[in-house]
């Protein structure tokens, strides 16, 4: 016959294992959606890979501005708002009608900026294999278009 102490212990273990299983299942099932609305207005947050004690974006803000200017020259979009902080930035873009390709614009902005500054960051094996700089975090945030009438 089981004591109430033993049963309570089993109950706690069972609850814990269900919580762990649910968490593991949630992590495996997470998907990132990229909403694509032609002519849409989008909010972005873009982070550097190394966020601790890193002032790269403000230290090289002129290079970042040049990257935005260069990309806007051949892939136009309007910057409605932008905030550049030491290790990340926030911005709101308006894309042209019939255009939803913000990912190409971001890839080009990051690429132009990365090529314009000295190589000084740590490179993981994965980044070396992919021939990537270790500056930016992967772009996995859930992006939602903003309502056009604000």
Identify the residue whose tokens are 């971001």: 106
pLDDT at 11: 40
* % of the chain with per-residue pLDDT over 90: 39
- What is the residue-wise DSSP string for 52-115? TT--HHHHTHHHHHHHHHHHHHHS--EEEEEEE-SSEEEEEEEPPTT---HHHHHHHHHHHHHH
Q: How far is CA 97 from the centre of its chain?
A: 24
Q: Which of 130, 107, 132 is nearest to 119 (CA)?
A: 132
pLDDT in tens, 23-50: 444 444 445 556 778 888 888 999 988 8
Domain 41-146 CATH class label:
alpha beta
Chain segment 44-74, per-residue pLDDT in tens? 999 988 878 889 999 999 999 999 999 999 9
Boundaries of every domain in the chain: 1-30, 41-146
Q: Kindly tell me the number of DSSP H helices and DSSP E strands found in the chain.
A: 5, 4
CA distances from 47 to 17, 22, 30 (A): 34, 29, 20
> Comparing 86 with 126, which gets the higher pLDDT?
86
């Amino acid at each position: 016959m089981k004591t109430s102490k033993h049963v309570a212990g089993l109950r706690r273990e069972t609850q814990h294992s269900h919580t762990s299983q649910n968490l593991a299942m949630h992590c495996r099932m997470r998907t990132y959606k990229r909403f694509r609305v032609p002519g849409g207005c989008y909010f972005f947050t873009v982070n550097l890979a190394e966020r601790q004690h890193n002032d790269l974006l403000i230290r090289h803000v002129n290079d970042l501005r040049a990257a935005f200017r260069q990309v806007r020259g051949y892939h136009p979009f309007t910057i409605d708002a932008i905030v550049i902080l030491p290790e990340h930035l926030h911005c709101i873009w308006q894309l042209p009608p019939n255009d939803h390709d913000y990912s190409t614009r971001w890839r080009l902005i990051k690429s132009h900026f990365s090529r314009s500054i000295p190589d000084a960051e740590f490179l993981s094996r994965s980044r070396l294999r992919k021939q990537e700089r270790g500056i930016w975090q992967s772009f996995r945030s859930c992006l939602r278009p903003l309502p056009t009438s604000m």
